[in-house]
Amino acid sequence: MTKNILFLRILLLTPSMVLSVADSFAEVDLENGEEINEVCAGCHGEFGQGGKEGEYPRLAGLPASFIAKQLELFRERTRKNLAMVEYVDHRQMPDADIADIAAYISAIELPSKLAPVDESAPGFNAYERLLATKRVVQIPRVEGDVESGRKLYRRECGSCHGSDGWGDEDDGVPMLAGQYTNYLWRQVEKYREKRRIHDESSPEDELLSEFSNSEIRDILAYLSTQDD
């Protein structure tokens, strides 16, 4: 219960979120969101931390409006996702549920590291420490030219995905930092093959096809350093 009140306060304290998301978000039911999350947890993890090195993306912290939009795209089959399709049809997930789960997952904050502790100190609780480590998402650094990736990112991606890669809550643009590299690569390929639409306001935009694989690799290498 306390946790729900906390989440609710976070929502209320973020006016941009309330403004940017459809009216249905004004009255989200976070307890319902938490309940729905039990289904999602089977693949995306209890805290939306993702799994299997990006086979299941991290969801925690994505803008609520982005999460809701992807669930609708899966439901319409505009974005193909065989793994999820049975969970998102209208019967399983009416619009109100989409708003609740999107708000719930979006508000989860995950640390990228834990403060060191002295395990021999009195009061050290090994079980609590173990639980805390489950929430940590630390994207391993990947090979590539980080400096050249940083320049490319700043010039070509940062205006939408945020100057450091952490997304844009107001515009519902997902973060790329803190997300699994394998997952991001797969999505770049989907955009290039037009299985997903990158920029709805100009669907013919071929931004990601204009970069070589080694340039994308450098951008992803830069992004993988952002949560260090």
Residues that bind ligand HEC (CB under 6 A): 36, 39-40, 42-44, 56-57, 59, 62, 67, 69-71, 81, 83-84, 87, 101, 156-157, 159-161, 173-174, 176, 179, 184, 186-188, 196, 198-199, 207, 219
Q: Which is nearer to ligand HEC, 138 or 191 (CB)?
A: 191
Shortest Cβ 188–ligand HEC spacing (Å): 5
Q: Which is nearer to ligand HEC, 87 or 132 (CB)?
A: 87
Q: Are 43 and 56 in contact (CB under 8 A)?
A: yes
Shortest Cβ 139–ligand HEC spacing (Å): 13
The encoded tokens of residue 72 equal 């609708």
Q: Are 104 and 182 in contact (CB under 8 A)?
A: no
Shortest Cβ 16–ligand HEC spacing (Å): 16
Shortest Cβ 86–ligand HEC spacing (Å): 8
Cβ neighbours for 75, distance < 8 A, ≥ 6 positions apart: 85, 88, 89, 90, 93
Q: Which is nearer to ligand HEC, 89 or 114 (CB)?
A: 89
Shortest Cβ 1–ligand HEC spacing (Å): 22
Q: Which is nearer to ligand HEC, 52 or 141 (CB)?
A: 52
Shortest Cβ 7–ligand HEC spacing (Å): 16
Query: Cβ atoms within 10 A of the Cβ of 124, count?
Result: 11
Q: Which is nearer to ligand HEC, 90 or 130 (CB)?
A: 90
Q: Are 16 and 25 in contact (CB under 8 A)?
A: no
Q: Which is nearer to ligand HEC, 51 or 132 (CB)?
A: 51
